[in-house]
């Protein structure tokens, strides 16, 4: 179920029930999300160009997948910071935000009974020039959040890597779907068929036709949800 906020300045959100309470997933746009559970607020890749943040709460945790400008907005991060805010990012982003703490693939944190795991995010095929992938292996990360027994995967900018296809027990997945930087609908479908999330949200999809991923997964048990995440 998608819930529209009362103010046009507030993003729509979906709710997922967990043993720790109801998790709200707010769709800020493009690669930017906000999770809220019991008043605890987590932003992933908050960027002002993705939507208005004027009426949104300050952050308890901020997660940054990589340093590209549509995923890292230093001024906005500073505006979302309050006393006690924690910022985790890939290593390259720590050069731009001095108080960020680096997470590498396979690193794990536990904050307020929420488990945060970093996973690889990289290109295999798509390159800006020969030998120069848009997102080199080892540079960026995605995140898995475990909240009240539910596992939420936010992939960051990546293709359908072997590490993604080996994931287990993912309840909700956000997978990027735009060329030339991330995946085609066919690549997203390939990954989804491998790790079988219960719910799939394409995000970071730009002008990609989202009807394609719905068609490609129509014969599976995966629920595909299309939200305003261009």
Number of domains in the chain: 1
With respect to residue 22, please indicate whether it lies within any of the assigned structural domains.
Answer: yes
Q: Looking at the predicted structure, is the pLDDT value of residue 178 above 80? A: yes
82-105 average pLDDT score? 97
With respect to residue 110, please indicate whether it lies within any of the assigned structural domains.
Answer: yes
Distance of CA 186 to the CA centre of its chain: 19
In this structure, the strands spanning 199-203 and 172-176 are parallel
Contact 173, 189 (CB under 8 A): no
With respect to residue 35, please indicate whether it lies within any of the assigned structural domains.
Answer: yes
With respect to residue 89, please indicate whether it lies within any of the assigned structural domains.
Answer: yes
Which H or E run includes 26? strand 21-29
Q: Looking at the predicted structure, is the pLDDT value of residue 94 above 90? A: yes
With respect to residue 172, please indicate whether it lies within any of the assigned structural domains.
Answer: yes
Hey, what are 116's tokens? 């945060």
Long-range contacts of 88-93 (CB under 8 A, 24+ apart): 88/61, 88/62, 88/63, 88/64, 88/116, 88/118, 89/63, 89/64, 89/65, 90/64, 90/65, 90/66, 90/118, 90/139, 90/140, 90/141, 91/139, 92/66, 92/67, 92/139, 93/64, 93/66, 93/67
List pLDDT tens digits, range 6-56. Answer: 444 678 899 999 999 999 999 999 999 999 999 999 999 999 988 889 899
User: What range does the domain containing 181 cover?
Assistant: 2-224
Contact 41, 145 (CB under 8 A): no
34 vs 76: CA distance, rounded Å: 14
Angle at 40 between CA 96 and CA 229, to 5 degrees: 65
Q: Looking at the predicted structure, is the pLDDT value of residue 146 above 70? A: yes
With respect to residue 49, please indicate whether it lies within any of the assigned structural domains.
Answer: yes
pTM of the predicted model, to two decimals? 0.95
What is the domain-level CATH number for residue 174? 3.60.15.10
66-78 average pLDDT score? 94
With respect to residue 229, please indicate whether it lies within any of the assigned structural domains.
Answer: no
Residue 131 confidence (pLDDT): 84
With respect to residue 31, please indicate whether it lies within any of the assigned structural domains.
Answer: yes
């Amino acid at each position: 179920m998608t819930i529209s906020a009362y103010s046009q300045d507030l993003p729509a959100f979906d709710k997922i029930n967990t043993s720790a309470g109801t998790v709200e997933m707010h769709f800020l746009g493009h690669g930017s999300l906000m999770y809220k559970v019991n008043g605890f607020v987590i932003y992933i890749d908050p960027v002002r160009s993705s939507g208005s943040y004027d009426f949104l709460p300050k952050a308890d945790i901020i997660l940054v997948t990589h340093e590209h400008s549509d995923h890292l907005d230093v001024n906005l991060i500073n505006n979302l910071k309050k006393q006690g805010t924690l910022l985790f990012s890939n290593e390259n982003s720590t050069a731009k935000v001095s108080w960020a703490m680096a997470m590498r693939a396979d690193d794990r944190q536990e904050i307020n009974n929420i488990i945060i795991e970093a996973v690889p995010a990289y290109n295999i095929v798509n390159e800006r020039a020969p030998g120069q992938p848009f997102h080199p292996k080892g540079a960026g990360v995605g995140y898995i959040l475990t909240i009240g027994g539910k596992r939420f995967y936010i992939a960051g900018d990546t293709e359908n890597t072997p590490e993604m296809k080996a994931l287990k027990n993912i309840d909700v997945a956000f997978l990027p779907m735009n060329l030339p930087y991330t995946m085609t609908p066919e690549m997203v479908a390939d990954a989804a068929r491998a790790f079988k999330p219960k719910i799939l949200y394409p995000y970071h999809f730009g002008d990609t036709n989202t009807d394609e991923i719905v068609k490609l997964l129509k014969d599976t048990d995966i629920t595909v949800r299309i939200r305003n995440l261009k």
